[in-house]
Amino acid sequence: METRVAVLAVIVREGAAVDRLNDLLHQYSGFIIGRMGLPYRQKGVSLISIALDAPQTEISALSGKIGRLDGITAKTVYAPEHL
């Protein structure tokens, strides 16, 4: 199975969405290389970066599911395909 390396950037504006976000990340944990979260209290948001190595369909599915959560924004950046 061909995989892609990507970074999923997540901005959490609503704390109520965190439990659902963590549930999704747990479902895709086999594809997650690592993640880093930073609370930015002055702006009332949390910034999370998630490094992934997964089939592109799985990355897109996770990004889409996270992006549909209320109070959360998600964008994905892919590494070049030749990695």
3-state DSSP assignment of residue 54: strand
Rg (CA), the chain: 13
The fold of 4-78 is Alpha-Beta Plaits (3.30.70)
Per-residue pLDDT of the chain (83 residues; tens, 9 = 90+): 899 999 999 999 998 999 999 999 999 999 999 999 999 999 999 999 999 999 999 999 999 999 999 999 999 999 997 76
For residue 33, give the nearest of 56, 75, 4 by alpha carbon: 4
Average pLDDT of the chain to the nearest whole number: 95
Comparing CA positions, the residue from 48, 18, 53 lying closest to residue 36 is: 48
pTM (2 d.p.): 0.91
Query: Which DSSP helix (H) or strand (E) runs through 17?
Result: none
Q: What is the pLDDT of residue 15?
A: 86
Q: Domain locations in the chain? A: 4-78
- Looking up tokens 């990507």 gives 6
List the alpha helices (DSSP H) in the chain: 18-27, 56-67
Q: What pLDDT sits at residue 83?
A: 66
